[in-house]
Structure formats: structure tokens, C-alpha cells
């Protein structure tokens, strides 16, 4: 059976993280993931995960100062970037999360590239069994973000040269920037650590917009993907009222 993960950065934002985990379970999700859980004590998050039996698939490193979107590709900010990596890995270990998304930030150029590679190597070497994820963000939502397309991510993963550094393949970002989501997934599947989705272009529920997720999910599964797919979309109102897509897309072939 096709499985879905609720991204609690967007879904049930009005609830505390533990209550959002309970809501995701009640709604029928098989896993959860989040953005920045650090204001919630790890023990409380862990208790909610244990109560529901849901795994926490991943979380993000801190964005940095107001207006920033990550630290790891910012030259001269290595100490802050590595502190954020340490914080994320520590929280992930306490709650049993499987992955940490290391956010690059707004930057460009060779110095930024070198900082990102060095910080990713640091993260990978500290991570142990935790997967380190990097995610290209589209230029419409995150203009100026360092990591923008999957080819750039592939080259960075190769240069970092650590087995536990993988690609976060967000169908929404790929769809907005590159298109041809199925072909890109099939070309990159050996490097992918997690899959996320939302409608294109508005980033709403996946049963609208330009992408046919029934077809996309079927092709992803035909390629051998068996892990939960991450619902990282903006519900545009109460989350429960946006979940009409789940039954149809769970059954689609």
C-alpha cells in the first residue's frame, strides 16, 4: 500500500508539534516530518511519536538570522553552520529521526560552493546512521538560494563523496524549475533519499495543478520506491479539509 508522510512544517501549523503528530496519525498518515522542531523539547516529540507509532523521517537545520534560509553555503559562517548541524543531529538522535536536511542559504559563487561542500562533509562525518539531505529550491519561491537545480545537487553529492549524503527530491521544486518530473526522478533515483510533493504552481494539495500525481507516484513505485512520500504542501485552510486527495492517490496505479 502506498504510504504518505505529513510534513508538519505546513500541515497542522496551528497545533503544537506533539499534537500535530497525533493529528497526522488520526488522519491516516504513516509517517511525519518537520522543518524546525527545536522549540519543542525532544522528549515531548519523542513521546508523541511513541504514542502514535509514527516515524519522524527528517528535520531541517536552522535557517539562521531573520531573512536567511540556511547557513551552510555562507562563506565565513562555518562555525554557525556547524553548530546548526550539530543541533539538528542531536535532536534527530533523541527522537529517532532518519534524516537531516542541511539548508544551504542565500549565496552564490565558488566560495559558497566550497563552504557548502566542506560543511556537508562535516555533517556526513558526524551523522553516523542519519542521512544528510540536500534540496534544490526553485527560483520563484527562494530567489538567490544557493542550490537551485538537481544537476547542481548531483555534482555536489559526487564532490562531497560520502555515502550518507542524498538528494531530497521535491516534485514541486523540480516541477517549477526543471519540469519533466518523472524523467528526472528515474535518472536520479539512485541518489534520492526522500521524496516530497505538492501541486504546481501554487504548492497546494496534490490533486490539482499541472502535475498528474497518480501517474508520477505510479512511476516512482515502478522504479522500486517503497518509502513514504512526503506531503509538503500548503493546505490553504484547515488541514483536515485539504486531505481529500489521500484516498484517491493511495489507490492510484
Phi, psi for residue 26 in degrees, rounded to 5: -65, -30
- Provide CB contacts within 8 A for 223, sequence distance 6+: 185, 186, 189
Under 8 Å between Cβ of 206 and 175: no
Query: Of residues 159, 232, 240, 241, which has the active-site annotation?
Result: 232
Distance of CA 90 to the CA centre of its chain: 18
- Dihedral sign for Cα 55, 97, 152, 149, please: positive
- Provide CB contacts within 8 A for 81, sequence distance 6+: 61, 71, 72, 74, 115, 119
Distances (CA, A) of 11 to 14, 196, 239: 8, 13, 6
How far apart (Å, rounded) are the C-alpha atoms in residues 185 and 192?
A: 8
Q: Is 114 a catalytic residue?
A: no
Query: Of residues 129, 135, 178, 241, which has the active-site annotation?
Result: 135
Q: Is 232 a catalytic residue?
A: yes
Q: Most distant CA pair in the chain: distance in Å?
A: 49
Q: Which residues are catalytic?
A: 135, 232
Amino acid at each position: 500500500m502506498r504510504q504518505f508522510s505529513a510534513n508538519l512544517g505546513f500541515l497542522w501549523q496551528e497545533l503544537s508539534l506533539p499534537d500535530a503528530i497525533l493529528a497526522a496519525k488520526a488522519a491516516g498518515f504513516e509517517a511525519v516530518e518537520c522543518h524546525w522542531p527545536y522549540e519543542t523539547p525532544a522528549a515531548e516529540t519523542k513521546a508523541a511519536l511513541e504514542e502514535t507509532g509514527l516515524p519522524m523521517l527528517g528535520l531541517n537545520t536552522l535557517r539562521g538570522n531573520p531573512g536567511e534560509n540556511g547557513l551552510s553555503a555562507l562563506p565565513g559562517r562555518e562555525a554557525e553552520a556547524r553548530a546548526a548541524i550539530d543541533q539538528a543531529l542531536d535532536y534527530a538522535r533523541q527522537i529517532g529521526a532518519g534524516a537531516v536536511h542541511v539548508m544551504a542559504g542565500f549565496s552564490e559563487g565558488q566560495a559558497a560552493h566550497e563552504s557548502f561542500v566542506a560543511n556537508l562533509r562535516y555533517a556526513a562525518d558526524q551523522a553516523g546512521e542519519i542521512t544528510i539531505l540536500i534540496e534544490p529550491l526553485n527560483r520563484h519561491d527562494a530567489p538567490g538560494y544557493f542550490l537551485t537545480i538537481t544537476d547542481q545537487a548531483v555534482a555536489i553529492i559526487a564532490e562531497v563523496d560520502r555515502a550518507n549524503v542524498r538528494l531530497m527530491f521535491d516534485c514541486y521544486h523540480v516541477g517549477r524549475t526543471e519540469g519533466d518530473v518523472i524523467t528526472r526522478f528515474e535518472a536520479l533515483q539512485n541518489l534520492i533519499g526522500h521524496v516530497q510533493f505538492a501541486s504546481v504552481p501554487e504548492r497546494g494539495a496534490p490533486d490539482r495543478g499541472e502535475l498528474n500525481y497518480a501517474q508520477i507516484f505510479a512511476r516512482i513505485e515502478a522504479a522500486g520506491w517503497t518509502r513514504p512520500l512526503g506531503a509538503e504542501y500548503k493546505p490553504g485552510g484547515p488541514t483536515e479539509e485539504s486531505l481529500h486527495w489521500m484516498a484517491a492517490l493511495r489507490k492510484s496505479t
